[in-house]
Structure 1
């Protein structure tokens, strides 16, 4: 666990003073970004052998999980956010650590060098086969890609397009007992003009190409509208397709089975919302434990909070799964709390990181950009802060929706207060930096230089995705370059902004703001630095730390 103390860092019990030679000599493993952390604002593990859903109150959309021995690895959709394809690791299915991203940049590079909201990496699938980890991910505008590695904590291969085609989404492979390989997938109606259907085709065993013998194995139009997101499994001689239907926020979990890989498949709804508050419980992964238990991981769409991750118990009856709490009719409903999985051991609490001291010489894994990053957008330093440089507003861009150099992370909980210490060094009038809540509408606390003075104000942009215009609230003159900025998020995504000169007494700035989701992603929090026009000596924002507290 990493604990921040003013200008010092404590890593695994080792005290390292910032801005000193000892920090520079610290071993690379000590400064790594995969140190175990425990969030102050969300922990699913209740410490008494039970857990509370969601296990991740953060936007890990379309989660998929694979077990390899005693280890579980999860990935999720990342859309246009880079680095993409997060890799999370767990030992018990409840406590998850963010350990890597499989996609440092998104291809084609020229396309994703600018923001592509809602495009890019859709629902991926992670699998392990003959010593290799594979991720199959769709880009609805280009087709289905495959990447692989022998160690998910390190570098993954370059994306290989194994099935090209507009509107091909949600791939899931299956390696059969006889060595043959297959790929299930679906259609995105927005690109292909057709949807609510699942297909299966053959695939080379090395997963480098598909065979054009595609078969329509299920049409959901009559009873299972908007069926998509298949996951492919085999058990007791049956081929199974786990697939959500009914829509992201209103649907249910369907399972199909057949004795033949190409069908025909029979269908059964195995989980629905019922009387629970967990809407649209579907799309995810069946996994087991070394002790023989079965579990299902899925998401719930919570608007501005994104698609949060739930864990459900699962059992088999007559070769059909029941997910969640059985209602007595063979159809489950989600659980809010449950006993933890039996994995043979007890493991300590761990969560993905949210707070950051920016003490490492690489950017924390919780941070993503809105497009493929450029080196000159921002850099970690050896002095314990991250430096963001003021970038020129792109030509033709009316608001931050079209700006690529936004440094953001997912919301970690339903309520939290995020406080950050920053220093803003503007070199010219008009340069500004912002502490930002980003979505289809957004708001930020602006620090801007005008007439050689610094001013703080709240800026709001409603309907940014529809070219909305920013409005600037009352400005407050500040004398110090060093400031403490704060955003308090309450239930329903209500945000209040404030600033302080000493980090103790905060002044509210502007009106309350109700956050909105982005395109297929939740609202995010972070920073940007901006200017009009190009210069050879831009100003910058030094970010010392950010802390998330209840």
Structure 2
């Protein structure tokens, strides 16, 4: 790291990457996020400057590590990992609310492979944290907030869980606890107020891992509730110290767009904030679209290729599927340089649909794919959950349909017929139409088709608010990808082109 002040954009990991947990080993930072119903689970990132992050894999990339039953609905699955490095190992503890409860994994390299899960049946609740004291005892603290001594190698608890400081009296949903030894004190940091507009971060300190804890007089140390700031829902934070001695916080937040109440469509994203200390308490810097001045100049980062040609080496780590990814249904080797999908579940309305997508990471983007539907039907979709998704679908006979699923309604938004054979399907965002008022949505999603002769047709423009958390509920964000509705469908390439941050 250099010593030249600079600024950088926030969020540092855009798109549906919530509940960040961070640790540092030497000059390297590693970060994990929640993944909910998607497989593989728990994306892992690496950085040298806290600003430029590269996904190095997914911790749970084998079916034996991740049980997501076929009936798992959206916003189920994996909640709130904690990532730590201790005694030469990386430790990951996470809650699978759909099967398995609290589970511990280890690795010598965060890029993997990670171990098989160690169940922790004596650890209650969700959002588990791991912290070790100077004697080597491990303490697990969970949402609520409760704590128990714990052997993470075996999953066995030592004694019974007991309550500890749980944030501001009367505040909703004390969760996301993290316990730290800093200086001569132990600090317990929690999120509270719910993960919506009331979200906040509060902290307390005490003489031992179990307290007693004294709350910070300035609590909450971070919240944007009741403000008109462009970044909202700030919470679920983790602290890390840089090699130069400075302190930093990673946290989740959202970027609402449009009128009232403001719709966030990318899910909860990972932001970065500077931390200073005053009288032994953390003071959190501004959380906005740009970071304040950094004590070092961040590197340029490595731009991600806009096209994926689906080489035989397998899918890149940012591709995610629903619940599992059986080789007989999702394959990159059967036809060299093509992604082959075989249908299961009938349509994207089914929780077990065959879908391979990537998180929408930019407020404006365009995605395109070349699809061969000769043996079935399928297409290109933007998915929030099984009850809220839009897609453009083509069948072997050249029938092209734009289908909108909004809650209980399934609507045929447009249809046309094109010559049978491979063709290009597309989707892009468009700014909300003028004039704006309090009811203006966040964006529109425009679906189209391009035939081999180069003719391009826009088929439908759909209001983006219906693919937002404020409409659909839940904890996830938009995922853009490819699916099979019937039979076998093949995709030659996929383009994802950002048009804005």
TM-score, scaled to structure 1: 0.79
Please give the secondary structure, in 1, of the residue aligned with 2:299.
coil
The number of aligned residues is 464
Q: Distance in 1 between matches of 2:152 and 2:482?
A: 44
Distance 1:352 1:503, change over 3 A: farther
Conserved 8 A contact 1:56-1:310 = yes
The residue number in structure 2 matching 1:128 is 85
Q: Residues 50-449 of structure 1 correspond to what in structure 2 (within 5 A)?
A: 50-105=7-62, 111-140=68-97, 142-164=100-122, 168-186=125-143, 197-204=144-151, 206=153, 208-220=155-167, 222-250=169-197, 251-268=199-216, 269-273=220-224, 274=227, 276-302=229-255, 303-325=264-286, 334-339=287-292, 341-342=294-295, 347-350=299-302, 355-381=307-333, 385-393=337-345, 400-426=349-375, 431-439=376-384, 440-449=387-396
Distance in 2 between the 1:313 and 1:374 partners?
Answer: 43
Q: d(CA) in 2 for partners of 1:132 and 1:392?
A: 39
Tell me which residue corresponds to 2:435: none
SS in 2 for 1:229: strand
Q: Does the CA contact (< 8 Å) of 2:309 and 2:338 recur in 1?
A: no
Structure 2 match to 1:21: none
Do 1:420 and 1:547's aligned partners in 2 also have CA atoms closer than 8 Å?
Answer: no
- 1:511 CA displacement: 3.6
CA pair 481-147 structure 1, distance change in 2 beyond 3 A:
same
Deviations 1:359-392 (A, max 9, x none): 3521111111111121111211386533333324
Gaps of 5+ in 2: 256-263, 432-441
Mapped partners of 1:361, 1:113: distance in 2:
27
Structure 2 residue aligned with 1:459: 403
For the residue of structure 2 that corresponds to 1:169, the secondary structure is coil
Question: Aligned residue for 2:259?
Answer: none
After the TM superposition, which of the residue ranges 372-381 and 272-281 deviates more from structure 2? Answer: 272-281
Give the gaps of 5 or more residues in structure 1: 1-46, 187-196, 326-333, 532-537
2: CA distance between counterparts of 1:495 and 1:346? 34
Distance 1:545 1:65, change over 3 A: same
Change (3 A) 1:236 1:516: same
- CA drift of 1:163 comes to 3.2
SS in 1 for 2:134: coil
Q: Is the 8 A contact 2:9 2:291 kept in 1?
A: yes
Aligned to 1:36: none
Q: CA RMSD in A?
A: 2.5
SS at match of 1:305: coil
